[in-house]
Homo-oligomer: A and B are copies of this chain.
Amino acid sequence: MLRKWQFLGLGLVLGVTALCASFVGGMYFQHKDARRRLQKLIRTDPYAYYVSPKIYEVFGFFGTQDKADHRMRQIMKYGFPGLDDLRLYSDFVLSYDRRNRVAHWVCEHLQVDSIHFVRGRRGQNPYQADMSVPSNFRSELTDYRRSGFDRGHLAAAGNHHLQQNHCQDTFFLTNIAPQIGQGFNRGAWNHLERYVRNLVHRFGSVYVCTGPLYKPKQRLGGKLGVEYEMIGLNLVAVPTHFFKVIMVESKLQLGKPYMEGYVLPNAPIPDDLPLRSFLCDIREIEHYAGLKFFDGLRRSAIFGSNYPSESQVFREFG
Copies of this chain present:
2
Which listed segment binds B: A192-200, A245-253, A288-296, A308-316? A288-296
Which listed segment binds B: A95-103, A122-130, A165-173, A268-276? A95-103
* Residue A78 is within 8 A (CB to CB) of chain B in the complex: no
Residues of the B chain whose Cβ atoms lie less than 8 Å from the Cβ of A61? 30, 33-34
A51 touches B45 (CB 8 A): yes
A140 to chain B, nearest CB (A): 14
Interface residues, chain A, CB within 8 Å of chain B?
A: 15, 18-20, 22-31, 33-34, 37-38, 40-41, 45, 47-48, 50-51, 54-55, 58-59, 61, 82-86, 97-100, 134, 136-137, 214, 216, 219, 223-231, 235, 237, 283, 286-292
Given A20-B22, A23-B29, A99-B288, output 18 extra A-B contacts at Cβ < 8 Å. Answer: A22-B26, A23-B25, A23-B26, A24-B26, A25-B26, A26-B27, A26-B30, A33-B61, A83-B86, A100-B290, A134-B292, A137-B290, A216-B230, A224-B229, A226-B227, A226-B228, A226-B230, A227-B227
- A-B pairs, top 7 by smallest CB distance, nearest first, are A26-B26, A99-B290, A98-B290, A84-B84, A23-B26, A27-B30, A22-B22
**What would be 26 A-B contacts, judged by CB atoms less than 8 Å apart?**
A15-B15, A18-B19, A19-B22, A20-B22, A22-B22, A23-B23, A23-B26, A23-B29, A25-B26, A26-B28, A27-B27, A37-B59, A40-B58, A41-B54, A47-B50, A47-B51, A48-B54, A82-B85, A83-B83, A98-B290, A134-B292, A137-B290, A224-B229, A225-B228, A225-B230, A226-B228
